[in-house]
Amino acid sequence: MSMINKKVAVIGGGPGGLTLTRLLQAKGCEVKVYERDSDQNVRQQGATLDLHEESGLKALIAAGLLDDFKKCYRPDADKLRIIDQYAIVHFDDHDQESTVEIGGSSFRPEIDREPFRDLLIASLEKNTIVWNSKFVSMQPKGSGWDIFFDNGSTVYADFVIAADGANSRVRKYITDIAPIYSGLTIIEGNIYNASANAPKLWKLVKGGKVFALGLEKSIILSAKGDGSLSFYTGTRETEDWVETCGINFENKYELYEWFRERFVDWGSEWYELFQSDESYFVPRPQYHFPLNQQWESSPSLTMLGDAAHRMPPYAGEGVNMAMLDALELADNLTAEHFIDTQTAISKYERAMLERAGQITEVTLQSMEDMHAKDGLKFLVDMFRLIH
């Protein structure tokens, strides 16, 4: 089987899609990435990423990017403090020594999203990414696809990979399996210039991460290299809560009032999250796909990452699974022993779905354990066992 002279379209320029593109280009494939962002300078939101040796780092090594990664990652950003609702520390691993060498499952280096994307983009051939290309639809053409974007352009590709995230628009061309609401909704936020705008919490996080658990609720904090502080609240809400709660999530005062009521049994230290105008907030109901999802493989279309197996962020597996998907998919598409692309894709998808089902099950259990009445004890005991 050969991918030479076939046009490959990757829809979405996140870590999974960019890693796949790097790996395929190294094998001589003709690949374009179609990204909805207007350009490379769009701010990357969200918490830092921690790469795992058996998945994310494995893909990075295969892509020949480990040395570049070591220049960009943030030593000690993986340091964790586990605290209760009153900001009392119950576990703190800041005294543990760090190493830049890969040597076991405990090495999970953190990197901010923006420098990580820049690293991956710099590794690609010039003009690989077509910016301002928001996917609208596609239709079969011969053995491939015509792809339509909202900027009015149309392109043809022999092979399409959906790497467009949890709200993938391409997924429906592969399967109609719907996501399942997990029961938990996150409010994601980011406070810029946190040392000035949230000084107590910035000091508490100590350049790393904080997991705060109590009374079946959670707040996760992550310090970022640009001086901002990202956070996720975790509460059990109805699936339609975002639409029915009446909160304007762009209005920090309305959100602050909700927080004071919903977290009334937590300490006042957390009010700093909503006291700065240099911030943003977005609600994210947490979904996952069925653990046993399956579909009939296509010879010219597949998907990876959150498009294939979205899950809540309570095991740190999202980016790692996407990058491992990219590695396994690239290996299959360029392997000589498969007679055709459908066989290669079928083998990739079966393995990917089995692995994703297992990780989703672990993630959902972790989410439940962390938001149980004894969630704090569960997490402290787990990390003490690791250390």
Is 50 one of the annotated binding-site residues?
A: yes
* Residue 255 contacts residue 249 (beta carbons within 8 Å): yes
- Tens-digit pLDDT string for the chain (387 aa): 668 789 999 999 999 999 999 999 999 999 999 999 999 988 767 778 889 999 999 999 999 999 999 888 888 788 999 999 999 999 998 876 654 454 444 556 889 999 999 999 999 999 999 999 999 999 999 999 999 999 999 999 999 999 999 999 999 999 999 999 999 999 999 999 999 999 999 999 999 999 999 999 999 999 999 999 999 999 999 999 999 999 999 999 999 999 999 999 999 999 999 999 999 999 999 999 999 999 999 999 999 999 999 999 988 889 999 999 999 999 999 998 898 999 999 999 999 999 999 999 999 999 999 999 999 999 999 988 876
pTM reported for the whole predicted model: 0.94
Is 36 one of the annotated binding-site residues?
A: no
Is 113 one of the annotated binding-site residues?
A: yes
Structural domains of the chain ordered from first start: 7-45+124-178+291-369 (3.50.50.60), 180-288 (3.30.9.30)
Is 340 one of the annotated binding-site residues?
A: no
